[in-house]
């Protein structure tokens, strides 16, 4: 049983690996025996994650990638070694009402959070299908793809679309041995939301979580390893909330 979540012999691509969930995922996967390909726009910050992976005795390849740019994604895949698992983690947010958000901000959120997931998945699947090897995709969605929050129209729309794209890939590519699942994190403190969580509105939101706290980063490790490893070999199209029962809260 101690080996059921082993990642030995697997190489994993993590997008958005320079900070937050991505950097944490890289360390967890390395501890489980995986080698890593780390991708993001900020290559200098990727080196910090790479050093942590190498300190655990695993190989780390650093690749510049802008997930919103299909050319950048294709060039990154051409430059990287073969990967067995893809973690689509890159994402951004813009807080605004729907009638006030700019076209630039709307496009930035949708291009990164949705188009980026599609572009990375497409490149991985093309290679797996050509090689006949199968593969495994994990999309990092959000509880805000299943419920809504105020002034987050672009973000919630993008994450809801990621949930449905996950299911679509699972259905269409099962015959090729390709699995696709999603994790929907609730509120975890990262550099993106740290300041907001300490505002009065953020504190009120935390009180609405049945656990009455945000998640601790290690609480994402188990769900990640379940879906990344062969322990979930018969799972595809699953959408896994990790949210302290937030989705179960009363209306």
∠ CA(226), CA(229), CA(230), 5° rounding? 105
Q: For 109-114, which contacts have Cβ atoms below 8 Å and span 24 or more sequence positions?
A: 109/154, 109/155, 109/158, 110/154, 110/157, 110/158, 111/68, 112/67, 112/68, 112/158, 113/155, 113/158, 113/159, 113/162, 114/158, 114/161, 114/162, 114/165
Read out DSSP for 208-233?
HSTTSSPBPGGGGHHHHHHHHSGGGT
H-run or E-run covering 136: strand 135-140
Residues 89-136: tens digit of each pLDDT: 999 989 899 999 999 999 999 999 999 999 999 999 999 999 999 999
Helix (H, G, I), strand (E, B) or coil at 87: strand
Return the pLDDT at 1.
62
Residues counted in the chain: 251
∠ CA(89), CA(92), CA(93), 5° rounding? 135
Residues 135-152: tens digit of each pLDDT: 999 999 999 999 998 889
Residues 178-197: tens digit of each pLDDT: 999 999 999 999 877 888 89
Extract the tokens encoding 23.
């950097």
Report the range of poorest mean pLDDT among 63-72, 169-178, 186-195: 186-195
Q: Is 173 one of the annotated active-site residues of the chain?
A: no
Residues 221-231: tens digit of each pLDDT: 999 999 999 99
Q: Where are the domains of the chain?
A: 11-241
Report the range of poorest mean pLDDT among 42-46, 160-164, 224-228: 42-46
Extract the tokens encoding 135.
């593969």
∠ CA(168), CA(170), CA(175), 5° rounding? 120
| pLDDT, averaged across the chain | 95
In this predicted structure, the answer to whether residue 169 has a pLDDT above a threshold of 70 is yes
Return the pLDDT at 80.
98
In CATH, what class is 11-241? Answer: alpha beta
């Amino acid at each position: 049983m101690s080996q059921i979540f082993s990642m030995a012999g697997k190489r994993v691509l993590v997008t958005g690996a320079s900070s937050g969930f991505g950097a944490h995922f890289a360390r967890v996967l390395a501890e489980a025996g995986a080698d890593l390909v780390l991708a993001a726009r900020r290559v200098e910050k990727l080196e910090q994650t790479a050093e942590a992976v190498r300190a655990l005795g695993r190989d780390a390849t650093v690749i510049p990638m802008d997930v919103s740019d299909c050319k950048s994604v294709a060039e990154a895949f051409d430059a990287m070694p073969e990967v067995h698992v893809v973690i689509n983690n890159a994402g951004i947010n813009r807080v605004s009402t729907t009638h006030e958000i700019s076209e630039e901000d709307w496009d930035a959120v949708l291009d990164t959070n949705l188009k980026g997931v599609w572009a990375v998945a497409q490149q991985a699947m093309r290679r797996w299908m050509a090689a006949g090897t199968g593969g495994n995709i994990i999309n990092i969605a959000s509880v805000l793809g299943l419920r809504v929050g105020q002034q987050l129209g672009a973000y919630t729309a993008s994450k809801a679309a990621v949930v449905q794209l996950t299911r679509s890939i699972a259905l269409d590519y099962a015959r090729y041995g390709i699995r696709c699942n999603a994790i929907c994190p609730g509120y975890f403190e990262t550099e993106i939301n740290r300041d907001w969580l300490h505002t009065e509105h953020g504190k009120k939101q935390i009180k609405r979580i049945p656990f009455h706290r945000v998640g601790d980063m290690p609480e994402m490790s188990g769900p990640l390893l379940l879906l990344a490893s062969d322990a979930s070999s018969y799972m595809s199209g699953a959408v896994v909330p990790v949210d302290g029962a937030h989705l179960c809260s009363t209306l």
